[in-house]
Amino acid sequence: MRISSLQAFQNGVQGLQRNYAAAIRTQEQISTGNRILTPADDPVTSVRLMQLEQQQNMLGQYKANLTAANNSLAQEESTLNTVNTIMQRVRELAGEAGNGSLSQSDRQAIAAELQEREDELLGLMNSRNARGEYLFAGFQGKTQPFVRQADGSFAYMGDEGQRKLQIGSSLDVAISDTGKKVFQNITNAARLDATLTPTAGSTLAVSAPLVQDEVAFAGSPAFPAGGVTIRFGDPTATPPGDPKNYEIFAQPYTAGDPVLQSGRMDDDDKRQDSVVFRGVVMHFDGVPAGGETISVTADPAREKQGVLDTIHQLRMALEDNPDSPEGNRATRDAVAAALTNIDHAMVVIDGTRGDIGARMNVIETTLTDNEGVTLVNKSVQAELREVDYPEALSKLAFQSVVLEAAQQSFVKISQLNLFDKLR
């Protein structure tokens, strides 16, 4: 085989370059600490590292979402804790207002504090988060959720959307609750109306019906959907009836219908009589003459009532009702309705706080799992990417020896010359 001088030089230079490149690559691995410098070094491992990097980025986003969700829920919980404290004070004031010995000025003093508590609650229900969005407006974060109307009542301007954040590959957590759910959709105990049809000589008066037991009201048998009719005994009928006896029938009433419940007012005409029928309580005052009827029906438009409206109605009753028997009865009814509705509202608020606590527990558990997966991810990445220093240093030493040998052999070969043999 004939080898030209040019070919010998080219082979020698290429060998030196290969050995030098191999040594430089090993030295770069040692200096960077990475075994894989380009995808070509290990295509399979490079793909796996890319997948791990993507997973790591997702875990980082989930961690940011977990922190944001926890902060949002913590603020909502703090707000509801304050709301609950105010509601407890409002309930105390309502209980004080029910004291029959209070004068009109005493009730107005209670109404003045209720006004302050009402304004305080309005501010809390319109709380904003760090981004300037209203906490209880649903998806309408830039719209003030609760607005006082011209007549003093309150309107909810938000929607029923519940904002959520993704905190895992297949896990979302709600980070808000709507004001309609927490503060507006409160079961109204005063959703029934009573219409008295009196007879001549009757002084009978009936209170506003109050649903004091929702379980009994909706139980089996339930309160009739069409309402009830209460009929007092008619002394002019045949046979004559006792005016103080009453019977309760389902509406619509026709003669011969079965009696659902019956009773009798006591003989002390100065005492108030109470009737409880399937969760509904009513109070009778005065003396019936006989033959009176009372129609009790539900108003679907009053099925639910907001917290602020309950406080507003109680405040207006304390401010406006005169110090008279009729005014005192109206105040009594307003206080009873307010106490029951406030209890309903506090149950809903406490339930929401419980839901928030459960979500925060999910966030805490997910965050712990997220941190564990992140550590495993980083460990696997390090195992695949990082260089084995003892192995790399040994390899570099060997490659240095090979490079030096190649350099020395190239020097000797480059000095060979045919003309040296002709001398």
* Residue 211 forms part of a structural domain: yes
Give 9's Cβ-side CA count (13 Å radius).
7
Does residue 422 have a pLDDT over 60? no
- The CA-based dihedral angle spanning residues 253, 255, 257, 262, taken in that order and rounded to the nearest 10 degrees: 90
Give the whole-angstrom CA distance, residue 203 versus residue 321.
Answer: 20
**Has residue 44 been placed in a domain?**
yes
pLDDT in tens, 80-91: 999 999 999 999
Q: What is the CATH number of the domain that holds 372?
A: 1.20.1330.10
Q: In this model, does residue 20 exceed pLDDT 90?
A: no
Which of 298, 316, 334 lies at the terminal end of a domain, its last residue?
298
- What confidence tier does 22 reach under pLDDT thresholds 50, 70, 90? low
Same structural domain, 239 and 176: no
Average pLDDT over residues 229-251: 88
**Domain edge (last residue) among 298, 325, 340:** 298
Contacts of 72 (CB under 8 A, 6+ apart): 129, 175, 176
Do residue 38 and residue 129 come from a single domain?
Answer: yes
**Residue 418 located in a structural domain:** no
Domain span at residue 214 reads 192-298
The bridge status of strand 171-174 relative to strand 164-168 is antiparallel
Contact 250, 272 (CB under 8 A): no
Whether 343 maps to a domain, the answer reads yes
Cβ contact 327:107 at 8 Å: no
pLDDT tens figures, 127-141: 998 888 999 999 998
Q: Are residues 86 and 105 in the same domain?
A: yes
Q: Does some domain include residue 247?
A: yes
- The maximal CA–CA distance of the chain, rounded, in angstroms, is 162
Tell me, yes or no, whether 70 and 46 share the same domain.
yes
Q: Are residues 179 and 309 in the same domain?
A: yes
The Cα 239–Cα 184 span in angstroms is: 51
> Is the Cβ–Cβ distance between 414 and 12 less than 8 Å?
yes
SS3 state at 99: coil
Question: What percent of the chain stands above pLDDT 90?
Answer: 57
Token code pair at residue 287: 């003396």
Q: Let me know whether 159 and 43 are in one domain.
A: yes
Q: What's residue 4's pLDDT?
A: 58
Residue 321 maps to a domain: yes
294 and 306 in one domain? no
Same domain (yes/no): 174, 294: no
Note the pLDDT of residue 326. 87
> Is residue 308 located within the same domain as residue 277?
no
In a domain, 18, yes or no: no
Q: Which of 283, 291, 288 is nearest to 269 (CA)?
A: 288
222 shares a domain with 123? no
Same domain, 215 and 112: no
Do both 45 and 152 map to the same domain?
A: yes
- Ranking 110-119, 339-348, 380-389 by mean pLDDT, the lowest is 380-389
Residue 330 pLDDT > 80, yes or no?
A: yes
b/e burial code for range 167-183 (CB count within 10 A of at least 16 → b): bbeeeebebbbbbbbbb
Q: What is the value of pTM for the model shown?
A: 0.79
Q: Is the pLDDT of residue 413 over 90?
A: no
pLDDT for 215 beyond 90? yes
Query: How many domains is the chain partitioned into structurally?
Result: 2
Tokens read off for 83: 């709301």
Element containing residue 186 per DSSP (H, E): none
pLDDT (0 to 100) of residue 383: 67
Q: Is residue 407 part of a domain?
A: no
Of 381, 270, 269, 334, residue with least CA distance to 33:
381
Asked if 175 and 72 count as a contact pair (C-beta separation under 8 A), the reply is yes
Query: Among the three residues 265, 298, 331, which one is the final residue of a domain in this structure?
Result: 298
Return the percentage of the chain with pLDDT > 70, whole number: 79
For 72, counting Cβ atoms within 10 Å of its Cβ (0-12 exposed, 13-18 middle, 19+ buried), the class is buried
